[in-house]
């Protein structure tokens, strides 16, 4: 058959065949110990995430998506690319997207919101915090945005009847992909199931098909998103009154956790508050903090 008489649909068929061959090849491919060690050391040194040998199969599974996207047939090929000059520039952001875990939801760990209402906000307000320049809150490790938008709703409700109270929320994450999702501020209806109905009516807009909601502009205008890697020597432009860093450091080893909490203390105003996850602990760490409630601490 001549080139000109080749069926028009041959290219899609060729592409499908190559894709099937690549999938078959990947299914047989196994990450070598040498590649795993290189990846593990990179992920720990650049992102702070511990990657013990027990996570090898998980890492292998998550990397398959990147191998398919790049048309690569082995983990060694992908490893060589990640450590190449081109890979350092183009692939590291994709690597962190597949490595990080982004589990979150609205009004997660409800006791924290009770403590905000009953202890933290009244104490800060009594000292005049929230007037003038406004209350500054940092959602560190904000994932897809549920935590900072929850903070926004809680603070707006607190502001009602308190003339002069104002606030701003800084939300940071290492993943550009998840930050783009957070900025879109669009969520499936099941994602907002735990949000009180009064808050839904006040701060959310339903899509025409009623399957999704979008955070209202009044809420999104109070949140600014920024990429931040905890392993870098970051310095926020302003000290914060409240820091939420919950269920993030559980992926770090203990020495890295303590270094990170010291950085948080350096970003927190004296008298400011730090909230951590209920599965996390500061036990044994020498930090300028006093415990106010379980997993809630005040800068001294």
CATH topology classification for 10-99: Chemotaxis Receptor Methyltransferase Cher; domain 1 (1.10.155)
What is the CA angle 46-72-62, rounded to 5? 50
Domain ranges of the chain: 10-99, 110-299
Q: Are 213 and 200 in contact (CB under 8 A)?
A: yes
The number of CA neighbours under 13 Å toward the Cβ of 79 is: 19
Find all residues with CB under 8 Å of 279, minimum gap 6, and list them.
Answer: 247, 250
3-state secondary structure of 121: helix
Q: How far apart are CA 80 and CA 65, in angstroms?
A: 17
Q: What is the pLDDT of residue 26?
A: 52
Q: What is the pLDDT of residue 94?
A: 85
CATH topology classification for 110-299: Rossmann fold (3.40.50)
Q: How far apart are CA 144 and CA 132, in angstroms?
A: 30
Q: What is the pLDDT of residue 16?
A: 53
The CB density around residue 117, as the number of other CB atoms within 10 Å, is 12
CA 239 remoteness from chain centre: 21
Q: What is the pLDDT of residue 218?
A: 95
User: pLDDT 10s per residue in the chain (300 long)?
Assistant: 444 444 555 555 555 555 555 555 554 578 899 999 999 999 888 888 888 888 888 888 888 888 988 999 899 999 999 999 999 889 988 888 777 767 789 999 999 999 999 999 999 999 999 988 899 999 999 999 999 999 999 999 999 989 999 999 999 999 899 999 999 999 999 999 989 999 999 999 999 888 999 999 999 999 999 999 998 888 899 999 999 999 888 888 899 999 999 999 999 999 999 999 998 999 999 999 999 999 999 999
pTM attached to this predicted model = 0.80
Q: What is the pLDDT of residue 95?
A: 85
């Amino acid at each position: 058959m001549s080139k000109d008489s080749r069926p028009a649909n041959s290219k899609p068929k060729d592409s499908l065949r190559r894709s099937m061959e690549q999938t078959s090849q990947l299914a047989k491919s196994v990450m070598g110990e040498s590649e795993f060690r290189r990846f593990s050391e990179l992920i720990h040194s650049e992102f702070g995430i511990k990657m013990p040998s027990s996570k090898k199969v998980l890492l292998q599974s998550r990397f398959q998506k990147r191998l398919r996207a790049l048309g690569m047939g082995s983990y060694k090929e992908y490893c060589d690319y990640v450590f190449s000059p081109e890979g350092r520039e183009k692939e590291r952001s994709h690597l962190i997207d597949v490595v990080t875990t982004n589990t979150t939801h609205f009004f997660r760990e409800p006791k924290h919101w009770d403590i905000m209402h009953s202890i933290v906000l009244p104490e800060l307000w009594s000292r005049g915090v929230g007037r003038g320049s406004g209350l500054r809150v940092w959602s560190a490790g904000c994932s897809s945005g549920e935590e900072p938008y929850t903070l926004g709703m809680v603070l707006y409700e607190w502001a009602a009847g308190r003339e002069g109270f104002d606030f701003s929320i800084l939300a940071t994450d290492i993943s550009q992909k998840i930050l783009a999702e957070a900025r879109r501020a669009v969520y499936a209806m099941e994602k907002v199931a735990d949000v009180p109905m009064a808050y839904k009516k006040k701060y959310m807009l339903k899509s025409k098909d009623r399957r999704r909601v979008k955070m209202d502009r009044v809420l999104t205008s109070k949140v600014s998103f920024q990429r931040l890697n905890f392993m870098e020597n970051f310095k926020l432009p302003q000290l914060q009154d409240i820091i939420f860093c919950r269920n993030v450091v559980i992926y770090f080893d203990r020495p890295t956790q303590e270094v990170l909490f010291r950085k948080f203390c350096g970003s927190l105003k004296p008298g400011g508050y730090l909230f951590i996850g209920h599965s996390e602990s500061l036990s044994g760490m020498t930090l300028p903090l006093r415990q106010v409630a379980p997993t809630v601490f005040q800068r001294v």
